[in-house]
Amino acid sequence: MSLKRAFNPVVDANTRLLILGSLPGDASLKASQYYGHPQNGFWRLVEGAIGIDLAALPYPLRLTTLKAAGVGLWDVIASAERTGSLDGAIRNAEAADLNQLVDSLPSLRAVAFNGGAAARLGRRRLAARPGIDLVDLPSSSPAYTRPFADKAAAWALLGRYAGRR
């Protein structure tokens, strides 16, 4: 098993919506990009929710565009041992300091969890946060085989936090 680490958070003082995954998978780590697996639906799901084309943009511009829309990214796990990319293979996880990050975001209105593992771990740490909605989402991972249209319907609710109604 190899030790894998999360990327730095993508946030600024205008972040209204923070989307938390569990821990980057192998394709993302290799590409040094959030949601770097070509079949991960994350970018298409977010663009549908916020009404901004992201998937066609070069990665650095995706991040800039997300931040401009008030959307931030991070993971609930700072580091862990894991063979492969499945959340079920995570061992010896070190939690990310979610409370410190949330405290640094004065405009934050919601935290959304990308998948069950992120929700289980993140909700435990952020449960007592008045004024911040916690939203569970179906995983954008291709390993979670729910139809894309079903995922998109659930993710569409994020638009209200990023300024889209």
Residue 12 main-chain phi, psi, to 5 deg: -150, -175
φ, ψ at 66 (rounded to 5°): -60, -50
56 phi, psi to nearest 5 deg: -80, -10
8, 14, 40, 114: the active-site residue:
40
Is 40 noted as a catalytic residue in this protein?
yes
Joined tokens for residue 144: 């979670």
pLDDT tens for residues 20-63? 999 999 999 999 999 999 999 999 999 999 999 998 999 999 99
Q: Which helix (H) or strand (E) holds 81?
A: strand 77-82
Which stretch of DSSP H or E encloses residue 123? helix 116-126
pTM: 0.95
> Model confidence over 73-131: pLDDT tens digits?
999 999 988 887 777 777 888 999 999 999 999 999 999 999 999 999 999 999 878 88
The CA–CA distances, whole Å, from 154 to 17, 92, 145, 146 equal 15, 31, 14, 11
